[in-house]
Amino acid sequence: MEIKIVNKSNNSVPNYGTKASAGVDLRAFIEKDILMQPMERILVKTGLFMELPVGYEAQVRPRSGLAIKKGITVLNTPGTIDADYRGEIMVILINLSNESFIVKTGDRIAQMVIAAHEQADWKLVESLEETERGAGGFGSTGV
């Protein structure tokens, strides 16, 4: 699949790290370093703009290494970029650690996965088919 991308940053166009990678790294493109305090959230620009085909979305997800090593994660995980959005790709980061963290331009801040999706035809009904599980959720099938 081909996706049109405009890169207004001085970072390279996102690419896959390995042949089997599902996601590409998103890099910060900011004028000056951002000091994140514990529990602070920020919006980080990437300088990237794209045109997804209809029927696809881009999911913005945390980078596992940044999350485990520094406590930095994507706040609305996964963030969804719709096919009709033409604005700059931006990432909402939050610092869940007890230490300050500095975001610099060029830093790998998140990953992005392209995924196919469908739109449902919603049918209003009065009841739903019964199942063994029923309305049980939030651990109702075991820990």
**pLDDT attached to residue 84:** 98
Q: Is 71 part of a structural domain of the chain?
A: yes
**What percentage of the chain has pLDDT greater than the value 70?**
99
48 located within any domain: yes
* 34-36/101-103 β-pairing: antiparallel
Q: Provide the CATH number for the domain around residue 89.
A: 2.70.40.10
Is the residue at 126 inside a domain?
no
Range of the domain at 84: 23-116
Q: What is the pLDDT of residue 126?
A: 97
- Counting the structural domains of the chain, the total is 1
In a domain, 143, yes or no: no
Per-residue pLDDT tens over the stretch 66-118: 999 999 999 999 999 999 999 999 999 999 999 999 999 999 999 999 999 99
Question: Is the bond preceding residue 53 a cis peptide, omega within 30 degrees?
Answer: no
Q: Given a cut of 90, is residue 135 above it in pLDDT?
A: no
C-alpha distances in angstroms, 28 versus 16, 38, 103?
Answer: 17, 19, 8
- Does 138 map to a domain? no
Residue 39, in any domain of the structure: yes
In a domain, 142, yes or no: no
Residue 133 is predicted with a pLDDT of: 83
Count CB-CB contacts under 10 A for residue 92.
16
pLDDT at position 142 over 80: no
Question: 137 lies in a domain?
Answer: no
Mean pLDDT of the chain: 95
Contact 90, 47 (CB under 8 A): no
Q: Is pLDDT of 143 > 70? A: no
Rounded mean pLDDT, 10-22: 95
